Amino acid sequence: MKVTQNNSEKIFWDPIRIPSGAPITMSGSQGKSLPKLMVWLILFVSATYVVYTLKLLSSSPSCDEDIFLSRHNSIPLQKNDTASITSSKISPLQLGEENEEKTGLKHMVFGIAASAKLWQKRKEYIKLWWKPERKMRGIVWLDSHVKTYRNESGSLPQLRISGNTSRFSYKNKQGHRSAIRISRIVSETLRLGMENIRWFVMGDDDTVFVTDNLVRILNKYDHNQYYYIGSSSESHLQNIYFSYGMAYGGGGFAISYPLAKALEKMQDRCIQRYPGLYGSDDRMQACMAELGVPLTKELGFHQYDVYGNLFGLLAAHPVTPLVSLHHLDVVEPIFPNVTRVQALQHLKIPISLDSAGLMQQSICYDKMNGWTVSVSWGFAVQIFRGVLSPREMEMPSRTFLNWYKRGDYKAYAFNTRPVMRNPCQKPFVFYMSKARMNYGTNITVSEYTRHIVPHPKCGWNMANPAEVDKVEVLKKPDPLLWNRSPRRNCCRVLESKKKSMVIDVGECREGEISEVLTTKT
Ligand SMILES: *[C@@H]1O[C@H](CO)[C@@H](O)[C@H](O)[C@H]1NC(C)=O
Ligand SMILES: *[C@@H]1O[C@H](CO)[C@@H](O)[C@H](O)[C@H]1NC(C)=O
Ligand SMILES: *[C@@H]1O[C@H](CO)[C@@H](O)[C@H](O)[C@H]1NC(C)=O
Ligand SMILES: *[C@@H]1O[C@H](CO)[C@@H](O)[C@H](O)[C@H]1NC(C)=O
Ligand SMILES: *[C@@H]1O[C@H](CO)[C@@H](O)[C@H](O)[C@H]1NC(C)=O
């Protein structure tokens, strides 16, 4: 095993991965000692890299929402002496950490990057997750004035116009100088001098947060230290072009109070040093690099630099709480036959019942019928003919296209699998239709209805999952799920009556694993 693994590392040299910075040093100092074949390989790889980079530059990169009106009708920002304000009056040295209040929503302030041009449409995404001012604090930073409606004031954060950035130099030919305005949101929000803030959370106007899960994630970190928390893009090439160490603002990121304070002191000088950068996120990361603070990756923040259907990604969510969804204008609605906003509205039902368990996958087997069952709680259930292993099922299926609109499997920063390897194994998908709490038992009951689409002919001599119309999933709410070490939930097929299936989902029992005991000898 070991020997073949060593070999395979050389043979399956990923032509896209290698060139990130490599071509210069390799063709220079090491070139002569390399065998001929290697040199050709490097040339090929470099050429591929150049072609890809050009493509990346010519097609508009990820920030479609960053196209703003060029005139900034800015109002002067009220300056405040932020130096005197501290995030928490009591430092952990004076008071044991166990005595300090747990981080809640009230300790965060959201900074939403928005543009006047898209505001009337994008505000609907904010309304989906925003809670009134008593519970949440946040500011939408706009480039110019927008029409506001009195009846909306409770369902949206306050709106402000960003400060004038015309004094900053911007020299990127592909991007837009609104990037400077957006990268300064954290600093501008800090200067408002709000009290008792532990975290600054950045998001776009088309980012949807699951705020309970955001709290769960930020609670793991000490807000008195320097933290820059977020995630990369799904697109391997985007991550090469920008950085694997950059938080993508569309997926959202969080900056601890002391770090925001340190940033505010130097950001305007820092921004001037990088006029050639493309966007706001790379400007932010450049300043983080100057501060020496690396990205702390949390995989629940989702940039979603993909096209098509998010199904594969959502149905195999990593074992971590789902914190955000982005690019919802770009992808198809997450539930079929409804609008994008309606689909997200629908997701609020499972969020209210058991936010920690949202989208969490569990994998089990219907032994009677010989099927594999995958539950993505609160979203969808899939039934496959035959046995698919958990290591296969936990890979996202490529129901989506990459950021360059291809179905390429090499374009992602993680493993993916084809939707089916055999026509018989096209999944039968059931989407969540309703969900409720059974107050007699305190168990959630969610119902999933089959999405009727054509299936290829299958000659396998086994039960056809098309006979099932409805799947019912029983799950006890588990708000403390993420206080334990990460582990997938277990599921059990309780009964498989004709036309319906009942599944129990929950913490795995002692010795319980996802396996099918084979009876063959
Ligand atoms: C921004 O500042 C520049 C000069 O610093 C000024 O010419 C311009 O009018 C200002 N823009 C707005 C919208 O106030
Ligand atoms: C708010 O008022 C506007 C017009 O005054 C109306 O078009 C809109 O539907 C109202 N929105 C809500 C949420 O009631
Ligand atoms: C500035 O901070 C002081 C407290 O330090 C506060 O009273 C005042 O309202 C703040 N001003 C603004 C504009 O936020
Ligand atoms: C799609 O929605 C329409 C209108 O809401 C409804 O009449 C139709 O039956 C739905 N189709 C499916 C396949 O659910
Ligand atoms: C359900 O939860 C409520 C409130 O937490 C509690 O009072 C009740 O005893 C629970 N019922 C069962 C059957 O566990």
Q: Give the pLDDT confidence of 150-177 residue by residue, as tens digits.
A: 898 889 999 999 999 999 999 999 999 9
Mutate to test the pocket of ligand 1, among 162, 165, 166 (most ligand atoms within 8 A of CB): 166
The residue written with tokens 């300043």 in the block is 287
- Ligand 1 nearest-atom number relative to CA 71: 13
The CA dihedral of 327, 330, 332, 333, to the nearest 10 degrees, is 50
Q: Where are the domains of the chain?
A: 4-49, 105-303, 357-506
DSSP one-letter string for 239-275? HHHS-TT---TTT-EEEEHHHHHHHHHHHHHHHHT-T
Mutate to test the pocket of ligand 1, among 71, 164, 167, 170 (most ligand atoms within 8 A of CB): 164
What's the mean pLDDT when you consider all of the chain? 83
Q: Which residues, judged by CB distance below 6 Å to any ligand atom, belong to the binding site of ligand 3?
A: 78, 80, 192-193
Which range in 51-60, 217-226, 301-310 is most confidently predicted, on average pLDDT? Answer: 217-226
> Ligand 1 pocket, 385 CB below 6 A?
no
- Ligand 2 nearest-atom number relative to CA 152: 13
- Ligand 3 nearest-atom number relative to CA 194: 14
What does the pLDDT read at residue 307? 85
CA distance 507 to 319: 13
Distance 156 CA to ligand 2 centre (A): 13
Which protein residue's CA is at the shortest distance from atom 4 of ligand 3? 193
CA distance 444 to 346: 16
* Coil, helix or strand at residue 470: strand
What does the pLDDT read at residue 285? 96
Average pLDDT on 314-337 reads 94
The residue among 397, 399, 401, 421 whose CA lies nearest residue 411 is 401
357-506 matches 105-303 in CATH topology: no
The model's confidence at residue 14, banded by pLDDT at 50, 70 and 90, is very low
> Exposed e or buried b for every residue in 440-461, given b needs 16+ CB within 10 A?
eeeebbbbbebeeeebeeeeee
> Ligand 5 pocket, 442 CB below 6 A?
yes
Mutate to test the pocket of ligand 3, among 80, 137, 190 (most ligand atoms within 8 A of CB): 80
Give the closest ligand to the alpha carbon of residue 72: 1
End-to-end CA separation in angstroms for the chain: 25
Does residue 83 have a pLDDT over 50? no
Give the closest ligand to the alpha carbon of residue 149: 2
* CB-CB neighbours of 271 under 10 Å: 24
100-114, 203-217, 397-411: which range is least confident on average?
Answer: 397-411
Distance 443 CA to ligand 5 centre (A): 10
Give the closest ligand to the alpha carbon of residue 123: 2
What does the pLDDT read at residue 11? 25
Average pLDDT on 281-286 reads 96
What fold does the segment set 357-506 form as a domain?
Cation-dependent Mannose-6-phosphate Receptor; Chain A (2.70.130)
Reported as type and span, the H/E element at residue 108 is: strand 108-113
Which protein residue's CA is at the shortest distance from atom 13 of ligand 5? 441
> Ligand 1 pocket, 74 CB below 6 A?
yes
The residue among 227, 219, 179 whose CA lies nearest residue 200 is 227
CA-atom Rg of the chain in angstroms:
25
What does the pLDDT read at residue 33? 44
Distance 250 CA to ligand 4 centre (A): 31
What does the pLDDT read at residue 136? 93
By CB atoms closer than 10 A (0-12, 13-18, 19+), residue 307 is middle
CA distance 448 to 374: 12
Distance 178 CA to ligand 1 centre (A): 14
Tokens found for residue 171: 């020299």
What is the amino acid identity at position 232?
S
What does the pLDDT read at residue 330? 87
The CA dihedral of 189, 194, 195, 201, to the nearest 10 degrees, is -30
Does residue 8 have a pLDDT over 50? no
Which protein residue's CA is at the shortest distance from atom 7 of ligand 1? 166
Does residue 76 have a pLDDT over 60? no
CATH class of 105-303: alpha beta
Give the closest ligand to the alpha carbon of residue 195: 3
Does residue 134 have a pLDDT over 50? yes
CA distance 165 to 177: 9
Average pLDDT on 367-379 reads 95
> Ligand 5 pocket, 438 CB below 6 A?
no
CA distance 379 to 355: 12
Asked if residue 261 lies in contact with residue 82, where contact means CB atoms within 8 angstroms, the answer is yes
The model's confidence at residue 29, banded by pLDDT at 50, 70 and 90, is very low
Distance 430 CA to ligand 2 centre (A): 35
Give the closest ligand to the alpha carbon of residue 152: 2
Give the closest ligand to the alpha carbon of residue 76: 1
